[in-house]
Amino acid sequence: MATANKIVRLREEATRRIDKRNGKKRALAEHTLSTLSQLGYARTSLRDIAEQSGVSVGILHYYFEDKAELILCCVQLYKEEFLAGLEVNLKASGSPQRTAERMIDVLVASVENDAEKHRLWYDIRSQALFDDSFTHVVSDLENSMIDFCGRLLDRVELNGLDPLDLYLRFDALFRYYLQRKLNGDRGAPRAFRDALSTLLRSLGT
């Protein structure tokens, strides 16, 4: 009995250590996400990240094997935040038309308020064309977005449409108007809203 209790305590202690380590990694990734959003992947060094995070480069190396692993953790955080906002809209009550309207609101607000974070996503997605270490996380995020588009089509009662096609259309508009917003075009969010409305009307919503 004593041996069994000791094993349980050891497992609980190991779990606490893992949770603490994961919590620290997440906190460092959150600071990194802010730095990367401003400077971009290529122009950001571990030293830049350390200075912004208030830790040493050694600490970063303790929690992350290299810059690529840290970036992947950041992209995962981005995915969680962005998809969480979309999911809230999808699960809210209302008619198919109201769901489509809320979806437009979420996407437009995202371009208006989180343009730098989304810029990092497109930066990393481009890096995946050259660096295999990013391929998996980029594919995972895009697959999650395609799955979301499938559930959105169900929610707005357009089951016959292809989720991949909808994702590609959304992505093309999102990237284009994001670029305009980052280039200082104050009218980009409104133009993005109009383009999304036109797209969804063409689909029958």
* Phi, psi torsion values for 122, nearest 5 degrees: -70, -30
Number of structural domains found in the chain: 1
Rounded to two decimals, the pTM is 0.79
- Return the residue matching tokens 């029958």: 204
50, pLDDT greater than 50? yes
CATH number at residue 73: 1.10.357.10
Give the residue from 82, 78, 28 showing the smallest Cα distance to 55. Answer: 28
Q: What is the pLDDT of residue 5?
A: 59
Higher pLDDT pick, 179 / 42: 179
Q: What is the pLDDT of residue 10?
A: 46
Lowest-confidence range among 37-41, 72-76, 102-106, 141-145? 37-41
Tell me the pLDDT tens digit for each residue of 113-164. 988 888 888 988 998 899 888 888 889 889 999 999 999 999 998 888 999 9
DSSP 8-class letter at 54: T
Angle at 73 between CA 42 and CA 20, to 5 degrees: 135
Domain that holds residue 24: 2-203
